[in-house]
Amino acid sequence: MTLKLGDKVRAPGRLLRSKEWKGRHQWYTPSWARPVEGMFVGVRTYVNGVCQYGNNYDDPTVFIGDEWIKVALICNDPRHAPTPVLYNECEVL
pLDDT in tens, the chain (93 residues): 789 999 999 999 999 998 777 788 899 999 898 999 999 999 999 999 998 877 777 777 888 999 999 999 999 998 999 999 999 999 999
pTM of the full structure: 0.84
Instruction: Kindly report the number of other CB atoms within 10 A of residue 41's CB atom.
Output: 15
State how far the Cα of 64 lies from the Cα of 22, in Å rounded to an integer: 13
Q: What pLDDT is recorded for position 32?
A: 92
* Three-state DSSP class for residue 89: helix
Contact call for residues 50 and 25 (beta carbons, < 8 A): yes
Domain ranges of the chain: 8-92
Contact call for residues 66 and 51 (beta carbons, < 8 A): no
Q: What pLDDT is recorded for position 58?
A: 76
Pairing of β 83-86 and β 62-75: antiparallel
